[in-house]
Amino acid sequence: MPRRTTWTVAAVQMTATEDRARNLRRAAHWVRAAAAEGADLVALPENFSYLRSEGEAPRYRDALDGELVAWLRDLAREVRCYLLAGSIPERASRHRVHNTSLLLGPTGAVLAVYRKLHLFDVSIPGRVEFRESRTVAPGNRIGLVRTPLGVLGLTVCYDLRFPELYRQLALRGAEVIFVPSAFTAYTGRSHWLPLLQARAIECQAWVVAPAQVGRHNPRRESFGHTAVLDPWGRVVALKRQGEGWVSAEVDLQQVARVRRELPCLRHVRRELWRFPRVRRGGAAGAP
């Protein structure tokens, strides 16, 4: 299939709970609605199928050949577009899961599997207490896939705080980077949009960030603000609150133009990437 330089992306915003049947009904509703309006790719948020309370063991441990992925494959075939399954709890071991993002094609084929690299272990007294590593195992490789819609990079939520991951994706050719998330309401107010803009600007890539929103249970609330940003860092689509979706036209020629006119990716000093260790009580590399 020939490469397309312009296409429409839709990013879904949801309030998922522990009720999987309800979550899947809502996800399918928004995917169908966006596809009916002409979306070529629909992106779901992190934990779209099941969002548990902090501290609880995962109720589901899905396999890539299991019922949930079969459901996703059927949905992609039905709507005849690309589908980003923000993340699912993929079985990793008896006690832990991977936080796994999947990209499916219009035929239902699984085109890419990315397991979240960075786990959200954070303690802000009285605000945020979360230790993802108790129940989630990290992945060990970046997510990058070439498609007729361009070179797509896959990340998940907390990954957003690690620019070195996004720089690797950009240097390997990523033109559109996805950030399906369930950003906390507290951190999101100050950090969500600035971090998305920073990643779009420094990568000179489109950034698509479908998000969870609102109160999921007594212990979890997400910021929402699902967004699409262009390679200049401009927010071109934004849904602040409530369930639904936003769409935008992705122009890959804009990626090429920005990278040609402001070629910072070609100016990267790769020889400086191997930083010396910082010794206690002294500067980096000090004797």
Is 157 catalytic? The answer is yes
Identity of residue 142: I
Which residue out of 116, 132, 221, 243 is catalytically annotated?
116
Which residue out of 81, 90, 132, 157 is catalytically annotated?
157
Is 46 catalytic? The answer is yes
Compute the distance between CA of residue 164 and CA of residue 162 in angstroms, rounded to an integer: 6
Question: Residues 116-155, buried b or exposed e (16+ Cβ, 10 A)?
Answer: bbbbbeeeeeeeeebebeebbbebeebbbbebebbbbbbb
- Among candidate residues 152, 37, 140, the one with its CA nearest the CA of residue 102: 152
Instruction: Name residues whose C-beta falls within 8 Å of residue 92's C-beta, 6 or more positions apart in sequence.
Output: 61, 98, 136, 137
H/E stretch holding 287: none
Residue in the structure block whose two tokens are 């629909």: 42
Is 264 catalytic? The answer is no
H/E stretch holding 43: strand 41-43
Q: Residue 26: left if φ>0, alpha if ψ -120 to 50, beta else—which one? A: alpha
List the catalytic residues: 46, 116, 157
